[in-house]
Amino acid sequence: MKLCMIGTGYVGLVSGTCFADLGNNVICVDKDKKKIKHLSNANIPIYEPGLSELVLKNYKNKKLTFSTNLKKSVKDSDIIFICVGTPTKKKGSSADLSQIYNVSKEISSSINKFKIIITKSTVPVTTGDQIEKILSKKNSKKKFSVVSNPEFLREGEAIRDFTYPDRIVIGSNDKKSNNILKNLYGPLISKGAQYVHTTRRAAELIKYASNSFLATKITFINEIANLCEKTGINVEDISIGMGLDKRIGGRFLRAGPAYGGSCFPKDTKAIISTADKFKVNLSVIKSVIKSNKNRSNLLLDRVYEILNKKIKNKKIAFLGVTFKANTDDMRDSSSLSMIPTLSKKGAKIKYFDPTGLKDEFKKIKNVSYENSIRKSVEGSDLVIIHTEWNDFKSINFKNLIKNKKCIIYDMRNIYSANKIKTQGFKYYSVGR
């Protein structure tokens, strides 16, 4: 099939590439000329394991092409995926849909034959209705169908998540587009993915409800971890004991720092804003946001406790600063509040991240980047493990740290307390 992905950010580039790999002809469009030039030279703007190899393979096969010409690309395609950003508005907490509507207007003047227009970007309930209105101004309703097909890719696991999804959600109000899309996703359905057909509005809400529920699960276990710390219980026992109940499920029950990233913080805020519009109070999600906001303060309080409230001039090594492992994404990472706060209190911070130096910390006093684990932990009083990269999973602290008084604070529960204690260091973790 001939597909056009509008927006070559995370969702557009990954799904466009994966669709090409399934044998479709895909044009990835972006108005950013520099980005398209880089992509045409197989220069990938985002960090995602396995993506550059797959882009290169399909670009060479001519299954994947890049363009800045939206109108022509739409004319040449049968299915158009809108994959532009829907960030939180500068004022308020609702999603900024200006890019979605601008793109819809451009598509509107390029509908030369029947087209399916799909929102893959996360969009609030009724956005599809608005797109339909825009397109109807210039086109007969017989010439297009507006569908919602939310994407559930996790950064760092995006190709796997696309290829082996738990479910594919298609929200369409007509049979024709549903049949075409079932066919498009056929190769994934035959490998076991569940195909869920709903109304367009339901599909839009499924995405927000899913992300809000996952954020709730994480926040829930983080609060239980607080209780475990006070009662001498290992939170991992709780996660296992709860997770084996099929009604609960074991995933997303890992306690740690505040959740972050490009989706959970943004989508939890946006669903509340949508509900407000319809005069519905989503009190559970509101308290999840509040609890998550407070999470970094709680972990910082633990740092003060560990260091006997003496932070000034303490040398702290920070391992991993992105919002989780296997990504270079800093959006809403808890390190963005923790590192500046520690610096304000007089700590001297050396950080290392497998994805390199971060501009966000360039101007912060007493914060420097080191290009190896060894250099960052050298001479430290405290080592904070902030993300769960494999690089951090088998560090020989004994070899790297001469100061036996150095303390390890493992915010991702990578190590067992015994393993670190036998190396001669004091060890703290989360919820145990």
Q: What residues are labeled active site?
A: 263
Residue 368 backbone class (left: φ over 0; alpha: ψ -120 to 50; beta: rest): beta
Instruction: Please report, as residue ranges, which positions from 303 to 332 form the binding site for ligand UDX (by CB under 6 A).
Output: 323-324
HSE, side-chain direction, 13 A CA sphere, residue 307: 25
Of 67-75, 210-218, 377-385, 392-400, the segment contacting ligand UDX by CB under 6 A is 210-218
The site map against ligand UDX for 102-121 (x = CB under 6 A) is: --------------------
Contact residue for ligand UDX among 195, 220, 252, 425 (CB under 6 A):
252
Of 96-104, 125-133, 150-158, 401-409, the segment contacting ligand UDX by CB under 6 A is 150-158
Q: Least distance (Å) from ligand UDX to the CB of residue 68?
A: 27
> Given the complex with ligand UDX, which of 286 and 331 has the nearer CB atom?
331
Long-range Cβ contact pairs of 214-218 (< 8 A, separation 24 or more):
214/252, 214/264, 215/259, 215/264, 215/267, 215/268, 215/285, 215/288, 215/292, 216/284, 216/285, 216/288, 217/252, 217/253, 218/252, 218/253, 218/254, 218/256, 218/259, 218/264, 218/292
Asked if 152 touches ligand UDX (CB under 6 A), the answer is yes
Instruction: Please report, as residue ranges, which positions from 155 to 194 form the binding site for ligand UDX (by CB under 6 A).
Output: 155
- One-character DSSP codes across 342-370: HHHTT-EEEEE-TT---GGGTTSTTEEE-
Asked if 260 touches ligand UDX (CB under 6 A), the answer is yes
> Given the complex with ligand UDX, which of 152 and 318 has the nearer CB atom?
152
Q: Least distance (Å) from ligand UDX to the CB of residue 261?
A: 3
Distances in Å between the Cα of 244 and the Cα atoms of 225, 239, 394 are 18, 8, 28
Of 23-31, 251-259, 271-279, 356-364, the segment contacting ligand UDX by CB under 6 A is 251-259
Of 12-20, 87-95, 261-269, 282-290, the segment contacting ligand UDX by CB under 6 A is 261-269
- Give the Cα separation of 187 and 210 in Å (integer): 24
> Given the complex with ligand UDX, which of 59 and 323 has the nearer CB atom?
323
Contact residue for ligand UDX among 261, 265, 320, 431 (CB under 6 A):
261
Asked if 9 touches ligand UDX (CB under 6 A), the answer is no
Of 45-53, 68-76, 259-267, 276-284, the segment contacting ligand UDX by CB under 6 A is 259-267
Taking a C-beta distance cutoff of 8 angstroms, is the pair 245, 99 a contact?
A: no
Asked if 153 touches ligand UDX (CB under 6 A), the answer is yes
Comparing C-alpha atoms, which of 57, 194, 207 is closest to residue 122? 207
At residue 92, what are phi and psi to the nearest 5 degrees?
95, -170
- What angle (nearest 5°) sits at the alpha carbon of residue 265, between those of residues 264 and 271? 80
Asked if 72 touches ligand UDX (CB under 6 A), the answer is no
Taking a C-beta distance cutoff of 8 angstroms, is the pair 428, 417 a contact?
A: no
Asked if 269 touches ligand UDX (CB under 6 A), the answer is no
Asked if 218 touches ligand UDX (CB under 6 A), the answer is yes
Distances in Å between the Cα of 116 and the Cα atoms of 84, 149, 175, 214, 394 are 17, 11, 12, 30, 49
Asked if 415 touches ligand UDX (CB under 6 A), the answer is no
> Given the complex with ligand UDX, which of 259 and 361 has the nearer CB atom?
259
Number of residues that bind ligand UDX (CB under 6 A): 20
Q: Least distance (Å) from ligand UDX to the CB of residue 22?
A: 20
Count CB atoms within 10 A of the CB of residue 136: 14
According to DSSP, the residues that pair with 408 across neighbouring strands are 383, 427
**Binding-site ranges for ligand UDX (CB under 6 A):** 151-155, 211, 214, 218, 252-254, 256, 259-264, 323-324
